[in-house]
Chain A
């Protein structure tokens, strides 16, 4: 058998259709370039009734939405999870990393939390502040114009607060707080923790004629059939097709490697078609990798050739290094004042209506960097798990736990909507010693060598998680809530979740001015190969206490402008 090669040469091949790949598809196709987009999963359109999960009831699923088929339950719009049948990964002994992948057009943008936070001026210059990690080769002012454009193109609600490291933007109005969020505001203020309207990429007003406005079903994780939330397909790729872009989508197609010629330049990619299990080659002048930080590192490391014996772009030996995820810890509490509450439709948007950005002063703390706080609770739709331990909260108010009969119904209604939970999402320190590499012994079902992870949290992240729990307890106290569970201790890393669980992994192909200490330059172009670019979160030098998506979008746009300009100048 030989590799089937398409006779066509594209201007650009984009590998991956998530946030970075979607943005690249839009910007590069609108510049008149002929594009191939290669996606490892199937075609997906949130508006397609055959795959729609939005507005479905729990009883439409025979498992009532349990997570035995999908990691976040039957109705979540991620085809994949931390484990994918046929696509394993490994870990070095004694280390932890859980790798979440979503195999579908739009990738993880179909189900994500839509929390859309700009990095602030300090986030690009952390080494200058605390001596840890490295500074980015760019500053907030380089990215600001692109953040502004992303706000207007995609839409994000929030509020201008003139905060030093959580910049203002072009916001849509925020939804009013829910009842448990009013309790949060009360508790947080008592603990001297500030609260502001949340910042989520959900349309509370129209921004154009192609997308609908939020109708408050609270189900953004199911991907919106009215396109009222941001996902890469509905907001970037479909509009790019609609405006006449020359775009070919190759779905169910898993890229194995980037092909280079004798002079070391990229000429295209080889992918496996998952339907017929054959190899194909596509040619292009420019290759843009947007497969996600770890998948892109994997493709580069698997692209070995005479000119690139250690993998493409890996002359520094740093591809896969500096892998880092957000820190995460969470805690729940019971608000007795919310017992026996009157019910009403409290779905709201698919996420929190209020939030707390990092407020602390590290000079007075025993850890570097910070975290933001996310808030959950309310009168949500039941799913599998609802009603488990229905009256355990009676422990707090002196009632009986357990039992049977109609008393249980009263308990269920008594406690419905009386819980609140808080989650801290913070910045870890990027370290060379945390990495992914190619496992020399293992392939996936497509014959592609898989990633092996090696990741350990340091004392910085653990101390941060400890602080999160102290803060949560103080806030709960301030709102008159009863904290559930014990305060986690040193033995369980103070409740710090395993790396990879927050699904914000970044840093594997970090950018920099020094080609010995970084993989790409400040335009996310490989130091080693000038016609290969990376527009996922791989080039992040540090990850901030912010969700990475808004920065992926802004940097992808910036890189695409650079690609167009370089092509015009015939530099690549």
Chain B
């Protein structure tokens, strides 16, 4: 679109409010917001921006809860020579946000941390985060493998750990570091030319000639489409 045309669109777009402006003063006053972190833009509407800001300004977890979550995140995805930890990918920060965004996570996670501490107190007479690594792993082993055989008194812990694992993995594999580790290669302009041949072969497939004849030919993909009267593409 040429610049002149886009200006025209903008002007036409503003006609909507034109009548309103003539007839009464704008009622929207600038709002003084306390200085809180702001999100970089990602294509929000006005209403969505306000909602994001409200979430950013709210808080849910206390310090102890967040510390416990951080420890669990790194038990679930630990650092190694080869890998980043959940903390490296700021998964704790993601979970801190998502509980304010999706409130259904709040009670299960808050109650879950408390359940974990109660369990740990009974077993080791101390809260989970001050247990040794070995003690922490011992507790996790009891609740990390969902199964019908899990003892009834551990079921709630199991549900909590499952939720923690889900949020940790989703937070990690939607981060820049996690996506690199996963090997996702897209989200960038490219020219699709089918599945690489050696991969097709590996799966025992081959594109059929008859099917390929209906497909994009990348040597003329930039030519403007033309058809004959019978609907056959001739360019």
Contacts and interface: CB of A to CB of B under 8 A. Distances in A.
On whether the two chains bind one another, the answer is: yes
Interface of A: 4, 6, 39, 42-43, 45, 47, 50-53, 55-66, 68-70, 74-75, 79, 85, 105, 148, 152, 155, 157, 159-160, 168-179, 182-183, 186, 197, 204-208, 210, 213, 215-219, 238, 241-242, 247-253, 273, 275-276, 278, 280, 337-338, 341-349, 379-390, 400-406, 408-409, 412-413, 416
Contact of A379 (B17, B185, B214): B185
B80 A406 contact: yes
Contacts of B223: 205-206
A347 B216 contact: no
- Between B19, B183, B192, B227, the greatest number of chain A beta carbons within 10 A of the residue's beta carbon is seen for B192
Given A64-B171, A409-B181, A345 B166 contact: no
> Which 5 residue pairs of A and B lie closest in terms of their CB atoms, listed nearest first?
A387-B169, A176-B194, A215-B189, A347-B186, A43-B13
B146 A345 contact: no
Given A56-B43, A66-B102, A176 B222 contact: no
Contacts of B188: 55, 217, 345
B215 interface: yes
Interface stretch (B70-78, B108-116, B122-130): B70-78
A404 B76 contact: yes
Interface string B56-100: 100000000000000000011110100100000000001001100
13 contacts: A55-B188, A69-B51, A171-B233, A174-B215, A175-B216, A179-B200, A182-B203, A249-B13, A344-B196, A345-B190, A384-B98, A406-B77, A409-B83
A316 B199 CA distance: 61
A88 to B, nearest CB: 16
Contact of B166 (A105, A337, A349, A388): A388
B144 A403 contact: yes
B33 interface: no
Pick from B147, B169, B220 the residue with the most CB of A within 10 Å. B169
Interface of B: 1, 5, 8-9, 12-13, 15-17, 19-20, 23-24, 26-27, 39-45, 47-48, 51-52, 55-56, 75-78, 80, 83, 94, 97-98, 101-102, 140, 144-147, 161-162, 165-166, 169-176, 178-179, 181-196, 199-200, 203, 205, 207, 211-212, 214-217, 220-225, 227, 231-233, 235
B175 A59 contact: yes
**Dominant SS at the A interface?**
loop
Contacts of A169: 231
Contacts of B20: 273, 275-276, 278
A233 B190 CA distance: 25
Contacts of A343: 182-185
Contacts of A216: 189-192
B214 A197 contact: yes
Contact of B9 (A85, A238, A348): A238
Contacts of B80: 406
Given A155-B225, A348-B192, A160 B17 contact: no
Given A347-B186, A384-B174, A406 B83 contact: yes
A479 B55 CA distance: 46
B88 to A, nearest CB: 13
Given A241-B12, A403-B145, A276 B27 contact: yes
Nearest to B10: A43
Nearest to B170: A387
Contacts of B145: 400-403
B192 A173 contact: no
Nearest to A61: B42
Contacts of B178: 382
Nearest to A159: B214
Contacts of B221: 204-205, 213
Contacts of B190: 215-216, 345, 347
Given A47-B1, A387-B169, A349 B182 contact: no
Given A172-B225, A388-B170, 4 more contacts: A50-B41, A55-B187, A69-B52, A249-B15
A387 B185 contact: no
B78 A160 contact: no
A254 to B, nearest CB: 11
A275 B17 contact: yes
B130 to A, nearest CB: 19
B16 A43 contact: yes
Nearest to A105: B13
Given A52-B43, A207-B224, A405-B78, A160 B232 contact: yes
A42 B10 CA distance: 12
A259 B5 CA distance: 34
B176 A57 contact: yes
Contacts of A52: 43
B166 A57 contact: no
A117 B232 CA distance: 18
A247 B40 contact: no
Given A43-B13, A276-B23, A381 B184 contact: yes
Contacts of B170: 64, 382, 384-388
A303 B55 CA distance: 41
Contacts of A386: 169-170, 173-174
A212 to B, nearest CB: 10
Contacts of A63: 97-98, 101-102
Contacts of A383: 174
Contact of A60 (B42, B161, B183, B235): B42
A4 B52 CA distance: 35
A75 B169 CA distance: 20
A218 B40 CA distance: 24
Contacts of B98: 63-64, 66, 384
B2 to A, nearest CB: 9
A206 B12 contact: no
B40 to A, nearest CB: 7
Contacts of B217: 173
B174 A253 contact: no
B227 A170 contact: yes
B166 to A, nearest CB: 4
A241 B215 contact: no
B16 A344 contact: no
Contact of A176 (B41, B172, B207): B207
B17 to A, nearest CB: 5
B93 to A, nearest CB: 9
Contacts of B195: 176-179, 182, 344, 346
A372 B109 CA distance: 42
Contacts of B13: 43, 105, 249, 251
Nearest to B168: A387
Contacts of A275: 16-17, 20
A68 B101 CA distance: 7
B155 to A, nearest CB: 13
A50 B170 CA distance: 27
Contacts of B179: 57-59, 381-382
Given A197-B211, A251-B16, A45 B165 contact: no
> Which residue of A43, A169, A379 has the most chain B CB atoms within 10 A of its CB atom?
A43
B148 to A, nearest CB: 11
A347 B194 CA distance: 10
Contacts of B192: 175-176, 216, 345, 347-349
